[in-house]
């Protein structure tokens, strides 16, 4: 289900979108599909690839590793010495991710942390040029102040699923069981849209992507 763009736009973009181009990534996408594991949509992955290539971060942090798909998009787009720290509380997914990073030659450039992201963010002291959040949506608002603190000036904060099937933008679409997530995402978007330390753009791509620059 995607209620963010009209179907004909989604279908057209899907037809055009050829990212990623290789067998290794196609295999991960197939594994995710066969096992019902949610990973970045191709159009969002393609935009993430462009942003990382344009920014050239030396250090990046990811919340929500899953099986490593988005982390691989980031690592492939970084310069050769770029390093990624990626956090997920699900041990089984992380083991699959570890193998995927190893198979694509990134074992030396990835640090995987198996813990709750809130706790990790609270304890991290490193600074990052890019932070990508694709974890528990209801927690984005709690993660924000930590992310701003951990981001270098000019650093980029990217958050996926911020429009959450369009529910965030229109009450008529809201599934009652998801109302808490929707309310928290709305609050999160309101804050990042007018935060004095951030410039933010919210893009209706995939499930909605917010991109903020730390001033």
| CA–CA distances in Å: residue 134 to residues 4, 40, 64 | 18, 8, 5
Residue with tokens 């995710």: 32
Six token digits for residue 155: 């650093």
Q: With binding defined as CB under 6 A, does residue 77 bind ligand SAM?
A: no
Q: With binding defined as CB under 6 A, does residue 40 bind ligand SAM?
A: yes
Q: With binding defined as CB under 6 A, does residue 130 bind ligand SAM?
A: no
Q: With binding defined as CB under 6 A, does residue 69 bind ligand SAM?
A: yes
Please, what is the minimum distance in Å from the beta carbon of residue 172 to ligand SAM? Answer: 25
Binding mask 45-64 for ligand SAM (x = CB under 6 A): -------------------x
- Going by C-alpha positions, the residue among 89, 143, 81, 139 that lies closest to residue 112 is 89
Q: Which is nearer to ligand SAM, 90 or 197 (CB)?
A: 90
Count of beta carbons in the 10 Å neighbourhood of residue 110: 23
Six token digits for residue 75: 């690592």
Enumerate binding residues for ligand SAM (CB under 6 A).
38-40, 64, 66, 69-70, 87-90, 93, 116-117, 134-136
């Amino acid at each position: 289900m995607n209620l963010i763009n009209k179907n004909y736009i989604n279908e057209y973009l899907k037809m055009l979108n050829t990212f990623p181009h290789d067998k290794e990534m196609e295999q991960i996408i197939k594994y995710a599909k066969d096992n019902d594991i949610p990973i970045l949509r191709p159009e969002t992955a393609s935009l993430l690839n462009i942003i990382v290539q344009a920014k050239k971060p030396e250090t990046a942090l990811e919340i929500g590793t899953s099986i490593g798909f988005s982390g691989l998009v980031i690592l492939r787009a970084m310069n050769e010495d770029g390093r990624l720290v990626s956090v997920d509380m699900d041990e089984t997914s992380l083991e699959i991710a570890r193998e995927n990073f190893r198979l694509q030659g990134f074992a030396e450039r990835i640090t995987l942390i198996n813990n709750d992201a809130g706790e990790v963010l609270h304890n991290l002291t490193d600074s990052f040029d890019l932070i990508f959040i694709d974890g528990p949506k209801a927690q984005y608002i709690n993660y924000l102040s930590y992310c701003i603190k951990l981001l270098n000036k000019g650093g980029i904060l990217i958050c996926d699923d911020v429009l959450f099937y369009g529910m965030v933008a229109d009450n008529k679409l809201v599934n009652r069981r998801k109302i808490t997530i929707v309310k928290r995402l709305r609050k999160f978007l309101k804050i990042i849209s007018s935060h004095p330390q951030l410039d933010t753009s919210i893009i209706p791509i995939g499930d909605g992507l917010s991109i903020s620059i730390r001033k």
